[in-house]
Amino acid sequence: MEKNEILKTAKILNEATMEIREIERLTNTYPNMSLDDAYLIQDAGIAIRLARGERQVGFKMGLTSKAKRDQMNLNTPIYGVLTDAMQVNEETAFSLKYSIHAKIEPEIAFLISKEIKGPSSRDQIIEACSGVCAAMEILDSRFLNFKYFSLPDVVADNCSSSYFVLSHTVKKISDLELDNLEMNMKVDGETIQKASSKEISGNPLNSLIQLCEMLHTRGLALPAGSIVLAGAATQAVPLKAGTQILLTVENLGSVGLRVGMEYERNL
Ligand code: OOG
Ligand code: MG
C-alpha cells in the first residue's frame, strides 16, 4: 500500500473508534494489504493516539492460544500496542458506553523493568521481567459484527485492543512455574471460562519471548516499564452491563471487573 493509503486507513479506524461505530473490513477495499502494511497502519493509529496525549505503556500478544485462533478463525500470533488510556482499574465500574461490542478474556501480564533489545536469551528475558500478574483484556473490534476479518484487518485495528485491567497482586517470576496454572473466569459467580495457562503459547513466557522476536524483526525494542499481555487462554466472552467478572489464576491472584448498568449496546 502507498503511504497515503496507510495514513488514510489509520484515520478511518481512528474515527470509527472515536465515534463507536462499526466499519467494513479494510481488505474489502485493499485486498492486497499485507501483514507489513497492517503493522504500519497500526503504527499510524498509535501515532494518532499519542498525538492526542496518550502514552504508550506496553504491548499485547494476540492469538497465542488455540482457543482464540479457532474462535477468530485465524492462525498466527500477532501483537498490538497498549496505551495508558486503555488501562482500567478494579475499583471503578467499567462503562460499556465507549464500546461497540466488547468481549472479555482471561490473560496473564508481565511487567518489564529493563529494556529488551535485539536477540535475547530466555534467561535475559526473565531477568528483564520484574513481575507477573493476573489480567483481563476487554476487546472491541471496529469491524462489523466482530468477525469475518483477516489477519491484516485485525493487526491494522491494533489487534482489537480496547481496555485491560491488571491484578494488584504482582508476583516475582522466579517464584512461579507459569506453565500449568489454573485460570478460572467467573461471571456473577459462575465459571464461564476455565483453562490452564499452558494454553497460552505452551507457557505465557513464550508469548513474551515471541513478542521480543517480532519487535526485533521490525527493528524495535521492548522498553523498560512495559506491560505485556501474553494473550488469552480461552475464547473471549461478550461483556454485559451490570455483571461482575472475576478471574482467578492459581498461585498468582485474582482480578475483577464490575460492569456498570447504565448502558448496553446490541451484543
Ligand atoms: C484478536 C485479538 C486476540 C488474544 O488475547 O488472543 C487477543 C481478536 O480476538 O479480535 O487479544
Ligand atoms: Mg487478548
Q: Average pLDDT for residues 210-235, to the nearest whole number?
A: 97
Q: Whose CA is nearest to atom 9 of ligand 1?
A: 72
| Cα(216) to centroid(ligand 1), Å | 21
Cα gap 51→75, rounded to integer Å: 33
Residue among 4, 2, 9 nearest 158 (CA)? 9
Percentage of the residues of the chain whose pLDDT score is greater than 70:
98
Going from the Cα of 148 to the center of ligand 2, the distance in angstroms, rounded, reads 18
Mutate to test the pocket of ligand 1, among 137, 237, 247 (most ligand atoms within 8 A of CB): 137
Q: Which ligand 1 atom is the nearest neighbour of the CA of 107?
A: 5
Domain assignment of residue 239, yes or no: yes
Amino acid identity, position 211: L
Is 86 a domain residue? yes
Distance CA 248, CA 253 (A): 6
pLDDT in tens, 177-208: 999 999 999 999 999 999 999 999 999 999 99
Among all bound ligands, the one having the nearest atom to the CA of 207 is 1
Which DSSP string do the residues of 10-53 spell out, in sequence order?
Answer: HHHHHHHHHHT--B--HHHH-TT--HHHHHHHHHHHHHHHHHTT
User: What is the grid cell recorded at 219?
Assistant: 527493528
132 belongs to a structural domain: yes
* Domain count within the chain: 1
For ligand 2, a single-atom ion, the residues with CB < 5 A are 137, 232
- Atom 8 in ligand 1: which residue has the minimum CA distance? 160
Number of the ligand 1 atom closest to the C-alpha atom of 105: 5
How much distance in Å is there from the Cα of 130 to the middle of ligand 1?
Answer: 25
Task: Kindly state whether residue 265 falls inside one of the protein's structural domains.
Answer: no
Q: Which domain holds residue 186?
A: 3-258
Report field, pTM of the whole predicted structure over 0.85 = yes
Task: Tell me what the mean pLDDT of segment 156-163 comes to.
Answer: 98
**Per-residue model confidence (pLDDT) at position 267:** 45
Cα 78 to averaged position of ligand 2 atoms, centre (Å): 10
Considering the domain boundaries, does residue 186 fall inside one? yes
pLDDT at 263: 66
Distance 33 CA to ligand 2 centre (A): 23
How large is the angle between the packed helices 3-19 and 35-51, nearest 10 degrees? Answer: 60
Interior angle at CA 42, CA 41 and CA 45, nearest 5: 85
Whether 264 is covered by a domain: the verdict is no
On average, the pLDDT of the chain sits at 95
Cα of 74 to ligand 1 centre, how many Å?
10
Residue 146 lies in a domain: yes
In this predicted model, what pLDDT tens digit does every residue of 85-135 receive, in sequence order?
999 999 999 999 999 999 999 999 999 999 999 888 999 999 999 999 999
Ligand 1 binding pocket (C-beta < 6 A) is 60, 62-64, 68, 72, 105, 137, 139, 141, 154, 159-160, 231-232
55, three cell numbers? 502514552
* CA atoms of 12 and 45, how far apart (whole Å): 9
Domain assignment present for residue 168? The answer is: yes
Neighbours of 74 (CB within 10 A): 18
What's 254's domain CATH number? Answer: 3.90.850.10
Please report which confidence band the pLDDT of residue 149 belongs to, taking 50, 70 and 90 as the band edges.
confident
